[in-house]
Amino acid sequence: DAKTTQPPSMDCAEGRAANLPCNHSTISGNEYVYWYRQIHSQGPQYIIHGLKNNETNEMASLIITEDRKSSTLILPHATLRDTAVYYCIVRVNSGGSNYKLTFGKGTLLTVNP
């Protein structure tokens, strides 16, 4: 019952920006957008999250549309080590039954040399 839609796979050239889209058209006003990634054989790793403003950290940037129905994760200079499955998740931050993280199928990003 994931609330997000992502393309199953994408390719990106090393050194170029990777732009990963996510649709969350049923997002509620109090739900945040979270991004995680899972590199092969490892546990998922948190990347970034936001509510309505664009966010940037040392790993990536998150662009959320004004209507909050979609977002894009941007890896500005993709490296081979960024090859992973990227998950977009929506959830509230205030606890309760909606606090759990529900993972969809994600996007397999392959960074090519």
Partner 1 sequence: GAGVSQSPSNKVTEKGKDVELRCDPISGHTALYWYRQRLGQGLEFLIYFQGNSAPDKSGLPSDRFSAERTGESVSTLTIQRTQQEDSAVYLCASSTIGTVNTEAFFGQGTRLTVV
| Of the candidate residues 8, 29, 42, 58, the single one contacting partner 1 (CB under 8 A) | 42
| Phi and psi at residue 82, to the nearest 5° | -85, -5
102 binds partner 1 (CB under 8 A): yes
38 CB contacts (<8 Å, ≥6 apart)?
Answer: 44, 45, 84, 85, 87, 106
Of the residues 3, 19, 103, 110, which one makes contact with partner 1 according to CB under 8 A: 103
Instruction: Provide, rounded to whole angstroms, the least separation between the CB of residue 112 and partner 1.
Output: 21
Contact 4, 102 (CB under 8 A): no
- Cα separation, 59 vs 48, whole angstroms: 8
Instruction: Give residues 62-101 in contact with partner 1 (rule: CB under 8 A).
Output: 85, 87, 93-97, 99-101
Region near partner 1 per CB under 8 A, out of 11-19, 20-28, 39-47, 61-69: 39-47
| Rounded distance between C-alpha atoms, residue 41 and residue 56, angstroms | 27
**110 touches partner 1 (CB under 8 A):** no
Instruction: Determine the straight-line distance between the first and last CA of the chain, rounded to whole angstroms.
Output: 36
Binding site for partner 1 (CB under 8 A): 34, 36, 38, 42-46, 49, 85, 87, 93-97, 99-106
